[in-house]
Amino acid sequence: MQKNEEQVERTIGVMLRGGVISAAAVVFAGGVWYLTRFGMLVPNYQTFRGEPPDLRSVAGVWQGVLGLQPRSVIQFGLLLLIATPIARVAFSAIAFAVQRDAVYAALSLVVLTVLIFSLLG
């Protein structure tokens, strides 16, 4: 049991680190690409207009990535970052189920449902 839990903790640690590093790499690549093309534009964040629809949803961002939009690539990196803790909770649910810990498997699933509901709107 103790050994099993240590292994779970180690796997979660690797997942979190991997998620953050890959997200940062994608954001950086998209950022360099955006700035080399549009770096001379003057940004305006003073007035809130809200992002265009294609940067507001998972499906929209993915379409933008396929359409080679640098802003969508950055947003995709940010989605990877948001997905990292979600993947961690999904993994916890499985790990608790394997340990036959029904209460914690159920708790993990509740959290997972909330996270997915929020992300998919």
Of 1, 46, 67, 100, the residue at the interface with another protein (CB under 8 A) is 46
* Residue (68 or 117) nearer to another protein, CB: 117
38 within 8 A of 92, measured Cβ to Cβ: no
Least separation in angstroms between CB 66 and another protein: 16
Compute φ and ψ for 95, nearest 5 degrees: -60, -40
Does residue 59 bind another protein (CB under 8 A)?
A: no
Cα separation, 45 vs 52, in Å, equals 14
* Half-sphere exposure at residue 37, Cβ-oriented, CA atoms within 13 angstroms: 10
Cα separation, 112 vs 51, in Å, equals 26
Does residue 78 bind another protein (CB under 8 A)?
A: yes
Going by C-alpha positions, the residue among 88, 68, 65 that lies closest to residue 77 is: 65
Residues in 10-29 that interact with another protein by CB under 8 A: 10, 12-14, 16-17, 19-20, 23-24, 27-28
Cα separation, 30 vs 27, in Å, equals 5
Of 48, 66, 68, 100, the residue at the interface with another protein (CB under 8 A) is 48
State the residues that interact with another protein by CB under 8 A. Answer: 5, 8-10, 12-14, 16-17, 19-20, 23-24, 27-28, 30-31, 34-35, 38-43, 45-52, 55-57, 71-72, 74-75, 78-79, 81-86, 88-89, 92, 96, 103-104, 107-108, 110-111, 114-115, 117-121
